[in-house]
Structure formats: C-alpha cells, structure tokens
Amino acid sequence: MSIATTTHLNFRGDARVALEFYQSVFGGRVVIATYGDFGMPKDAPGADNVVFGQVETEDGFRVMAYDIPGQSGGSAGNAGSTRRENGATITDQPFFVSVRGESLDEIQGYWNTLSDGATIIEPLAASAWSPGFGMLTDAFGVTWVIDVAAPYNAE
C-alpha cells in the first residue's frame, strides 16, 4: 500500500490563471474542469470557474486547485503575516508549499519563475541546513519554500 498527498489550493476566481502559471514554472500537464463542465448552466455566473484543476509532472510535482463556489475577487491567499524579529523572518501563514530539489541548478529555475510578481521572504541562498533555501509568497498569495535537499546524517 502507498499513500500520496497533494496540496490543494483554494482560489476566488483565478484558479485557472494560477494553474497555468504553475505549469509554466514546473512544466507537466494541466487539467481543468469547470463548474459548467459538471452541469452548471454555461451562462450562469461562475460556470467558467474551476471545480477541479491540477498540474502534474513526470518528476512527481503535483498541485490541485479550485475556485471556491460563490467567491470572486482574486486569490484566497495564505491568511497570515510575515515579520522580522531579531534579524529572523517570522512567518505565521497556515501552510507553505515546499518544493525540494537535488541541486541548486534545478531549483534556481523554479525560483526565478515563481518570483515574478512575488514578495520575497527569504532570498534563495545557501543556509546552515541547505546549499540553497528561499521562501516567497507568489502573486496568488501562496507561500513557497524552495530548497535543495541536504544529506541527513543521523548519529
């Protein structure tokens, strides 16, 4: 038996744009089904909104998204805040999406594309625990942690 978990993001009318953006970052295949595809009258408000959306790559990246019924006006975002205390960034968002790669070259491309229109929380740089670590909140209000897997030495 195996189990897989997938981050499911909730939006307020811009799930399609977000999914297309994430596909531009990570590649892969995007699948989108609208409320209209599942029986809502095509001319009803919100019929073109996403009821099921997903980006999936052969490398194992997967994210799902939908538009919250009856909601509009942009991303639901990551309710929370970020502040600096004693030189450290304190982030209290309810979740992050973490993408971990095997090399700095691999994650640099993701970082460069995700950072378009983003708020950088921690610039991508070497850290005490990783050859590359960065954190940003993208243009859709989703906070991403991008890092390089560091060897783990349990002694």
Containing 105, the helix (H) or strand (E) segment is helix 104-114
> Does a structural domain hold residue 2?
no
Residue-wise pLDDT for 100-136, tens only, equals 898 999 899 999 999 999 999 999 999 878 899 999 9
**Do 104 and 110 touch, CB atoms closer than 8 A?**
no
82: pLDDT confidence band, cut at 50, 70 and 90?
low
> Does a structural domain hold residue 36?
yes
Residue type, 36: G
Domain's final residue, options 67, 96, 114: 67
Given a cut of 90, whether residue 3 has pLDDT beyond it is no
C-alpha closest to that of 114 among 97, 139, 141: 139
Q: Please provide the DSSP assignment of 142-155 as one string.
A: -EEEEEEPPP----
Q: Which domain holds residue 116?
A: 82-148
> Does a structural domain hold residue 125?
yes
Q: How many domains does the chain have?
A: 2
